Amino acid sequence: MQRIAAAAAGTRSAGAAQTTLAAAWGTDVDATDLLRRALVLCADHELNAATFAVRVAASTGASLPACLLAGLATLSGPLHGGATDRLRAMMGEPGLRGDPARAVAARLARGEDLPGFGHRLYPQGDPRAAALFADLAPGRTWRRLLCAVEDQTGRRPNIDAALVMLEDALHLPVGAAMAVIVAGRSAGWIAHALDQRRNGSLIRLRAVYGGPIRETVYPAAAA
C-alpha cells in the first residue's frame, strides 16, 4: 500500500501511506490524520465491480500485481471510478459557484446527473462521507451546494463528494481524491485476492441465452 501511495503521489517516499501522501502534497499534521481516515474508509466496499474483477483474477491463480491491475482497469471506467472527476468539473462551472440552487435545478431539468450525491446502498446517506465530514469544514459554496441538492432531490453526499471536498479544503493537487481511493482500496483488493486464493476455486459464472428459439431443420435423408 505504501508503494502504491507513493506512486499515486508521484514520490519515492516509502513511509506510511498517509504520511507519504501528506509529505508529497505538503500538508500539516491535522491533514495527515484526515488522509489516514480517508484511506481507511476507502479500503473496502463489498463486491463492487473493481473488487469483483480482482477476485475473478485471483481465482485463476494470477499474481497479486495482476489482480491489482484488474481492479485498476475496472476502476478506470467512468461509470465506476469517474465520479470525482465529474464532480470536480461540475464544481468548476461558473453558474454553480454563483447560484448552486439554480445550477442544480438546471442540471436536473436537462436530465443530467449530480455526481457525488446519492448512493443506492445508502438511501439515508453514505456513512463514509459522514465520517469525513465530522472533521472537515466545507466552504460556503460547498455548504450551499449540499443544501441545494438535498432540498431538491433528497440526496446526500457520498464518499466521492467527501473526497473532492477534502481535496478542495486541503488545497491538494487535482486528482488527489482518486489517488486516495486507489491507495486505500488497494489494501482491500489485496485482502480480497488472498481470501479468494484460499478458497481455491475458479469463479465461473454461467450465461443463460434469452433470445428467440428456432427449431433446427435438418435436410431430409437421401433415399
Q: How many other C-beta atoms are found inside a 10 Å radius of the C-beta of residue 209?
A: 6
Residue spans per domain, the chain: 2-10+17-83+125-139+157-199
pLDDT at 213: 82
Verify whether residue 192 is a known catalytic residue. Answer: no
What top-level class would CATH report for the domain 2-10+17-83+125-139+157-199?
A: mainly alpha
Q: For residue 151, with 0-12 CB atoms within 10 Å meaning exposed, 13-18 middle and 19 or more buried, which class applies?
A: exposed
What pTM value is reported for the model? Answer: 0.87
Per annotation, catalytic residue among 126, 160, 168, 192:
160
Q: Which helix (H) or strand (E) holds 20?
A: helix 17-25
What's the mean pLDDT in 98-118?
95
Per annotation, catalytic residue among 119, 126, 168, 192:
119
Q: Which three cell numbers stand for residue 31?
A: 491533514
Q: Which residues have CB under 8 Å from 165's CB, separation 6+?
A: 132, 133, 136, 138, 142, 157
Task: In whole angstroms, give the CA distance from residue 118 to residue 149.
Answer: 10
* Per-residue pLDDT tens over the stretch 142-184: 999 999 999 999 999 999 999 999 999 999 999 999 999 999 9
Verify whether residue 80 is a known catalytic residue. Answer: no
In terms of pLDDT, which residue wins out, 7 or 116? 116
Give start and end residues of each alpha helix (H) in 60-158: 64-75, 78-81, 83-91, 94-98, 100-109, 127-133, 140-153
Residue at grid coordinates 435423408: 221
Q: Which helix (H) or strand (E) holds 190?
A: helix 176-199
pLDDT at 14: 64
Strand partners, 117: 157
